[in-house]
Amino acid sequence: MPTTLGIEFAQPDGFRPLALDLRTPAASGAPVVVFLHGGGWLRGSRQVFTPGISDAESFDRIVAAGFAVASCDYRLSGEARFPAQLDDVDAAIGWLHEHGAEHGADASRIVLWGVSAGATLAALAGLRRRDVRGVVDWFGPADLFAMAQHDVGEPADQTREARWLGAPAGSVPDRARAASPLFQVAPDAPPFHIAHGTADEHVPFAQSEALVAALGASGVDVEFHPVEGGRHFWQGVVDTAPLFDRAMDFIARVTA
C-alpha cells in the first residue's frame, strides 16, 4: 500500500503551505477519494479520518477496496474565512489532475468524501465543479441559517459557523447562502451519498434531511442512510464497518 505523506499542493500568499497525504493501492489507475476532515472549520487534521476510528478502519480500509485516498489540508477559520477553503479544495484537485497519475491515481474519477465541516466543503465543491463523480457527505451542515438557530451554548458571533463566515449567518446572508450546500443544489449535481446519525447533537439530523429533499426535488441521484441513535462522529455506533462498506459501494458505482 504505497503512501506518500506531506505532499505540498498549494502555498496561498501569506499562509502556511497546504499538504495532502496520498495512499494508493498496488494497482495503478485507481479512482481517487479526496478526503476533507471535520472540526468545525476551526480545528482538525488531515491525518484523522474520524475521531475514534483508526487508520486501519478508515484510510486503509478504503485503499484495500481499490481506491486511492488523498487526505487534504485546508485553511481553518482562524486563518481564513469562507470561501478560502473552497480555493484550497480546488488546489488539491488541481494537483491531483496534474500529478495523480505519477502515483498511480486516476484523477478523472474523483469522489469527494467529507465529515462534518469537511462534508460541507465536499458538498459545496461537488456542487460547483463538473469533474467530480460523486460526493460522500457524512453529517455535514447544509443550511447555515438553520444552524444559527441551533443552540450550542455559545454567543452568536462565536459559533463554528460564525467564525467561518466572519459573522453570524443573519448578518451576512449572501455569504451564508453561498456557504450552504442546500442553496447550491442544481439538477446537474453529481450523485450524493449522505449518512447522518439521528441523535447527532452538534449537526441536527434535519440538516441532511433538508439536503436530501432538495437533491431529490432537483432529480439528483441521492442515497440517504439515517443511522438510528448515531451521534456526531458516529459516537454510539458500535460497528462503523457497514457505514464504510455502503460508502465504498457508492464510490465503486459512480466511478465505474
CATH code of domain 3-151+160-255: 3.40.50.1820
Helix (H, G, I), strand (E, B) or coil at 104: coil
| Percent of the residues in the chain that have a pLDDT greater than 90, as a whole number | 96
pLDDT band, residue 1 (cuts 50/70/90)? low
CA distance 251 to 65: 10
pLDDT at 152: 77
Neighbours of 171 (CB within 10 A): 14
pLDDT in tens, 217-249: 999 999 999 999 999 999 999 999 999 999 999
pLDDT in tens, 142-195: 999 999 998 778 888 899 999 999 999 999 999 999 999 999 999 999 999 999
Taking a C-beta distance cutoff of 8 angstroms, is the pair 243, 225 a contact? yes
pLDDT in tens, 14-66: 999 999 999 999 999 999 999 999 999 999 999 999 999 999 999 999 999 99
Taking a C-beta distance cutoff of 8 angstroms, is the pair 81, 164 a contact? yes
Closest to 209 in 3D by CA, of 142, 123, 121, 133: 142
pLDDT at 54: 95
83 cis-preceded (ω within 30 degrees of 0)? yes
Q: Across residues 133-145, what is the average pLDDT?
A: 98
pLDDT at 179: 98
Distance of CA 209 to the CA centre of its chain: 17
First and final C-alpha spacing in the chain:
22
Q: What is the pTM of this model?
A: 0.97
Report helix, strand and coil shares of the chain as percent, to nearest 5.
Answer: 40, 25, 40
Taking a C-beta distance cutoff of 8 angstroms, is the pair 215, 185 a contact? yes
Domain boundaries, the chain: 3-151+160-255
